[in-house]
Amino acid sequence: MGILSIISLWFIPILIGFILLYGTFKGVPTYESFVEGGKEGIKIAISIIPFLVGMLVAISVFRASGALDYLMEFIRPALKSIGVPAEIVPLAIIRPISGTAALGMTADLIEAHGPDSFIGRLASVLQGSTDTTFYVLTVYFGAVGIRKMGDALKVGLLADVAGIAAAILVVVYIWY
Amino acid sequence: MPMVNYIWVGMTIIGIIFGIANGTMEEVNKAIFKGAADAVTLCIGLISILVFWLGMMKIAEESGLLEKLSSLFRPVVKWLFPEVPVRHPAMGYILSNIIANMFGLGNAATPLGIKAMEQLKELNGGKDYASRSMVTFLAINTSSITLIPTTVIAIRMNYHSASPTEIVVPTLIATIISAICGILIDRYFYYRRSRKG
């Protein structure tokens, strides 16, 4: 992993050290500011509980009932016809909805097909280059009390589609 | 009524109907309470991260570090967020969120993103609908640029990849393409909205 692992290992401690030294240097009462900022964190965490409970219950009911599998079977031919490999379809569909489920699927795909196979690489790139739109929407808007999301969901989901397409194109172009 | 209501009810009701049709009512029952429990566990887990990073960022904000950061990227963010005054703390939080995402620090990115949203809401006069800047911010966020996809690298190592990090550059390219698409899609919807008036 070389330099990459060193960067990711050092990044957070160095950043924290820098913020603390810079604050001290500028005469900020660092400890008091930290506590004050931290208090907001508790408020936010508590306030997003109802939003996440609502969303996660709906998502897990949808999944557990088999409705999600059905949806996938329904969409699969369409996605396949535009060049999405069948194995990757469930991951592509679940990625915006549930982060943990997507991570589990990525691990499954990598285990089943091998990390250096086409599917393994594609799953890796897809997992790394997209985010859980529903989670981000629920948490960010929920925490600050935005009720009307406007175009946010549409834009987010279309961006996900673009991300999935980009992942497939890049993997095919680089390795195959 | 905001769309989220329909999506929420839709997913739940379709799930219940499928449960009846598929004979998966037992799973549905379990899923209801597991989903609720998972959500609370997730939030409790978030407390430590939120407290820590928001505490740190408060120091960064008061020392002027956040403003320094936003001045560094001023031309880009000015174009992306024309509604946000350049010296506003929202800019600092938006940028820190993007940077945290770049390094795959999902847990640090969430508090910063929430904070950015809070500031954007304030800029929007505290109204309860998503402003233009919020939609742009979300578009960038969901197609977030990733420099180091740490979790994926870890999974690949677990399954003995010959080269766990070979996906770093492809991921970066894919994520840049998707971020650009996200921004373009966002712009398109914005112009469509403003044409309608």
Question: What gap in Å lies between CA B81 and CA B44, rounded to an integer?
Answer: 33
Do the chains contact at B12 and A61, CB–CB below 8 Å?
yes
Q: How far is B139 from chain A (nearest CA, A)?
A: 5
Lookup: tokens for A87: 């194995």
Structure confidence at residue A2 (pLDDT): 62
Measuring CA to CA, which residue among B114, B17, B119, B179 is closest to residue A52? B114
Give the separation between CA A46 and CA B32, rounded to whole angstroms.
20
Residue A164 CB contacts under 8 Å (≥ 6 apart), including other chains: A84, A92, A95, A126, A130
For tokens 């990733």, the residue is: B146
**Residues B143, A131: C-beta atoms closer than 8 Å:** yes
DSSP class of B84:
S
Q: Are A37 and B54 in contact, with CB atoms under 8 Å apart?
A: yes
B7 and A153 within 8 Å at the Cβ level: the answer is: yes
Q: What mean pLDDT is predicted for residues B11-31?
A: 92
| Neighbour tally for B195: CB within 10 Å | 7
Per-residue pLDDT of chain A (176 residues; tens, 9 = 90+): 466 566 666 777 888 999 999 999 999 999 999 999 899 888 888 888 888 888 889 888 988 998 888 887 888 787 777 777 878 888 888 888 777 778 888 888 898 899 999 999 999 999 888 888 888 888 888 888 888 888 888 898 888 888 888 999 999 888 88
Q: Which residues of A73-100 are buried (b: 16+ CB within 10 A; e: fewer)?
A: eeebeebeeeebeebbbbbbbbbbbbbe
- From chain B residues 36-95, the ones with a CB under 8 A of any chain A CB are 36, 38-40, 42-44, 46-47, 49-65
Which pLDDT value is given to residue A121? 93
Q: Tell me how far apart the alpha carbons of residues B171 and A22 are, in angstroms, rounded to a whole number.
A: 33
Identity of the residue in B24, B34, B159 whose CB atom sits nearest the CB atom of A111 = B159
Query: Which pLDDT belongs to residue A43?
Result: 85
Coil/strand/helix, residue B37: helix
ipTM value: 0.79
- Report which of B63, B98, B105 is spatially closest to residue A10, judged by C-alpha positions: B105
- Structure-token match 């390795």, residue found: A175
Is A45 close to B58, i.e. CB distance below 8 A? no
Give me B161's structure tokens: 């990849």
Q: A148 - beta bridge partners?
A: B129
**Neighbouring residues of B97: CB distance < 8 A, sequence distance ≥ 6:** B109, B112, B113, B115, B116, B141
Cβ of B141: how many Cβ atoms within 10 Å? Answer: 26
For chain B, the C-alpha Rg in angstroms (whole number) is: 20
Using a CB-CB distance cutoff of 8 angstroms, which residues of chain B are in contact with residue A30? Answer: 59
Tens of pLDDT, residues B86-128: 788 888 889 888 887 776 666 678 888 999 999 999 999 988 8
Q: Which candidate from A49, A66, A156 shows the least CB-CB separation from B43?
A: A49
Helix runs in chain A, H state only = 2-25, 30-47, 49-64, 67-81, 89-94, 99-113, 118-129, 133-144, 152-175
Task: Mark yes or no for CB contact B36/A96 under 8 Å.
Answer: no
User: Which residue in B61, B115, B174 is closest to A166 by CB distance?
Assistant: B174
- How far from chain centre, in Å, is Cα B25? 33
- B101 CB neighbours in chain A (<8 A) are 131
Cα end-to-end span (Å), chain A: 24
- Cβ atoms of A97 and A132 closer than 8 Å: yes
- From the list A45, A108, A162, the residue with the least C-alpha distance to B107 is A45
**Please, where are the H alpha helices in chain B?**
3-22, 25-62, 65-72, 74-80, 89-102, 106-123, 132-142, 150-158, 168-196
Query: Tell me, what's the pLDDT at A91?
Result: 86
Residues of A in contact with B66 (CB under 8 A): none
Chain A environment of B195 (Cβ under 8 Å) = none
d(CA B62, CA B163): 43
Among the listed residues A151, A49, A68, the one whose alpha carbon sits nearest the alpha carbon of residue B15: A68
Q: Give the pLDDT confidence of B67-94 residue by residue, as tens digits.
A: 887 788 878 888 899 999 878 888 888 9
